[in-house]
Amino acid sequence: MGKSEDSPMRAMAQRALSEIGAVFARVTGDTYVRICSELLQAHRIACYGVGREGLMMKAFCMRLMHLGLDAHVAGDMTTPPLGKGDLLFASAGPGSFSTVQALLGVARDAGARTMVVTAQPAGRAAQVADTVIQLPAQTMADDRGSAGVLPMGSLYEAVQLVFFDLVSILLRDKTGQTPDEMRSRHTNLE
């Protein structure tokens, strides 16, 4: 790309970063406290999401494992059952997904706590969750007619990635770990 072609891309990148920053400006400190509290209280954690949100939940689950927490991705063959003292952490950015609703019911029936991260706190998933983490970003539920540069649910998903890494840093500090301790749990099978 020549210099003249870089300029529109730089402008789009700045707009995207501005959109992400605007979401973080609306996330309260209490949000970080609540998510850390739920995660640290859980004996076992199962993370779940669909589509690109599911990828962000898998990325966060990996960070939880790096922290030494008993964290699993719901749906993997090696995910153990949830029960009392455990936590299902699911993503439902636009408010609800049929699989999220079903898993919330299964976890609740087994005695586990439930936590939902969403952009739509009045959505069906949030209504049945024990804890709701709101990331007030555009999703597929409200992207039509948007002036934002990031398409469909990309803003929500980008915010999830950064938010979850910030939470992992807070959890690292709360558990008294070092970055090297987290790194020591990273897979060597890559």
**Per-residue pLDDT tens digits for 59-89:** 999 999 999 999 999 999 999 999 999 999 9
Predicted pLDDT of residue 183: 92
In single-letter form, the type of residue at position 159 comes to: V
At 145, is the pLDDT very low, low, confident or very high (cuts 50, 70, 90)? Answer: low
Q: Does domain 3-184 have CATH number 3.40.50.10490?
A: yes
Share of the chain above pLDDT 90, in %: 84
Inter-CA distances, 157 with 103, 141, 144, Å:
21, 13, 17
Enzyme catalytic residues: 157
User: Is it the case that residue 35 has pLDDT exceeding 90?
Assistant: yes
pLDDT bracket for residue 147 (50, 70, 90):
low
Write down the domain spans for the chain: 3-184
Q: How far is CA 169 from CA 32, 122, 136, 158, 179, in A?
A: 11, 29, 21, 17, 9
pLDDT for 95 equals: 92
